[in-house]
């Protein structure tokens, strides 16, 4: 393994008084903002906050994964991606719990189980974590799988959290923005995002947040984590692009937190900035984390991608997508099949455009 630092000081992580900061926008929120968000959730009038039935998925098995020799990805749910690259198995932000919450009796409940169970997972070569929020860092999963994981790649200071959950220190690789770690034939680079961190009211911004470049011999991939739109995407594209596939946050956006979560249109533009070939929208269709209809992120992303001549990949959960040659089934607008064929639904779809 080797470690490298990229000379990109204008986007290096900034730490002040024990807290990390964004480069372009100093995002802050307090109890007043939290009250306003909760009030909005209670009073919002939404037609389709959750799907009307089960989301389409295909069972993903250990055999399927281990027999995959081409570079491939599969959506497990939310931002949890299973990646096969250079014969290695990689998991991003694995979240399998029923709720994205510190407790399992309250908080956002997932629409349906992940496309593969924890028990069915094969040995994992690398787990990549973008930041410490509950919909990205799942304590139950980490405690359940760490014995079958070779390496954990995480932003600064998340390693201490993992150690507290039983992960061996020698398995953990912490990286600052623009730092790289090469493991075998795959280079991982932690790259900037415009976001924040914290698992309670008392640990705000004490760990770093990041996006990830995952570059192997078979393909060059980008995993966005969570981010508002900012010029860092163009810098990443210039340094590491072009990318065969970008896995881009597309969901849980709102005007109240536009600094830290992109609209679908901004997600497509970020993909363009990154010099991506194909884009796969993530961070949607699993938890109700915002005030838009559940299908809106995908519908808006598809519409804008078409207008910008961007190849959008929208596989169903559990479907292994060959990064080199995604077929027409991975571009099907499957979410349209799940809602009633009524004028109200057609109007709701139209209003997303």
Q: Are 268 and 300 in contact (CB under 8 A)?
A: no
Parts of the chain with a pLDDT under 70? 1-14, 28-44, 328-329, 339-353
* 124 beta partners: 149
Class of domain 2-6+36-351: alpha beta
Residue 327's pLDDT is 73
Measured CA to CA, the distance from residue 151 to residue 173 in angstroms comes to 7
pLDDT attached to residue 77 = 97
CA 161 to chain centre: 19
pLDDT of 8 reads: 46
pLDDT given for residue 145 in this prediction: 98
Residue 227 CB contacts under 8 Å (≥ 6 apart), including other chains: 193, 194, 195, 211, 249, 260, 261, 262, 270
Per-residue confidence (pLDDT) for residue 93, from 0 to 100: 98
Predicted local distance difference test score (pLDDT) of residue 32:
45
> Which tens digits make up the pLDDT trace of 263-279?
999 999 999 999 999 99
Residues in contact with 341: Cβ distance below 8 Å, sequence separation at least 6, in sequence order: none
User: What pLDDT, on a 0 to 100 scale, did the predictor assign at position 341?
Assistant: 61
What DSSP line would sit under 141-171, residue for residue? HHHHHGGGEEEEEEETTHHHHHHHTT--GGG
Position 9 scores a pLDDT of 45
Q: 47 with 295: CB under 8 angstroms? A: no
Domain residue ranges in the chain = 2-6+36-351
Q: Please report the pLDDT score of residue 25 as a whole number.
A: 84
Distance CA 311, CA 323 (A): 12
Strand, helix or coil for residue 336 = helix
Helix, strand, coil % in the chain, rounded to nearest 5: 25, 25, 50
What whole-number distance in Å separates Cα of residue 36 and Cα of residue 23? 26
Helix segments in the chain, DSSP class H? 31-43, 62-66, 139-145, 158-164, 232-240, 264-273, 296-307, 343-351
CA distances from 39 to 91, 201, 302 (A): 35, 18, 31
pLDDT at 332: 86
296/301 Cα distance (integer angstroms): 8
């Amino acid at each position: 393994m080797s470690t490298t630092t990229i000379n990109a000081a204008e986007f290096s992580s900034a730490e002040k008084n024990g807290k990390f900061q964004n480069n372009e926008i100093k995002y802050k929120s307090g109890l007043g903002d939290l009250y306003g968000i909760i009030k909005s959730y209670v009073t919002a009038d939404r037609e389709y906050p959750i799907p009307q039935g089960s989301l389409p998925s295909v069972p993903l098995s250990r055999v399927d994964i281990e027999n995959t020799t081409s570079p491939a990805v599969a959506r497990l749910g939310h931002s949890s991606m299973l990646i096969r690259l250079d014969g290695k198995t990689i998991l991003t932000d694995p979240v399998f719990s029923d709720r994205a919450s510190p407790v399992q009796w309250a908080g956002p409940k997932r629409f349906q189980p992940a496309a593969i169970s924890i028990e069915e997972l094969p040995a994992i070569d690398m787990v990549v974590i973008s930041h410490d929020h509950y919909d990205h860092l799942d304590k139950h999963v980490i405690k359940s799988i760490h014995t079958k994981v070779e390496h954990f790649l995480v932003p600064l200071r998340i390693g201490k959290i993992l150690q507290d959950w039983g992960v061996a220190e020698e398995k953990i690789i912490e990286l600052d923005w623009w730092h790289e770690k090469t493991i075998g034939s795959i280079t991982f680079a932690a790259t900037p995002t415009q976001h924040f961190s914290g698992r309670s009211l008392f640990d705000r911004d004490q760990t770093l947040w990041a996006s990830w470049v995952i570059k192997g011999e078979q393909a060059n991939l980008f995993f966005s984590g969570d981010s508002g739109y900012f010029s860092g995407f163009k810098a990443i594209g210039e340094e590491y692009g072009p990318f065969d596939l970008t896995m881009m946050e597309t969901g849980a956006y709102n005007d109240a937190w536009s600094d830290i979560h992109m609209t679908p249109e901004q997600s497509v533009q970020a993909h363009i900035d990154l010099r991506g070939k194909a884009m796969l929208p993530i961070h949607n269709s699993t938890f109700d984390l915002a005030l838009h209809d559940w299908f809106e992120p995908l519908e808006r992303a598809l519409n804008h991608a078409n207008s910008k001549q961007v190849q959008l990949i929208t596989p169903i959960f559990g479907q292994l997508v060959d990064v080199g040659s995604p077929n027409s089934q991975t571009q099907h607008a499957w979410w349209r099949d799940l809602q009633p064929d009524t004028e109200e639904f057609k109007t709701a779809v139209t209003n997303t455009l």
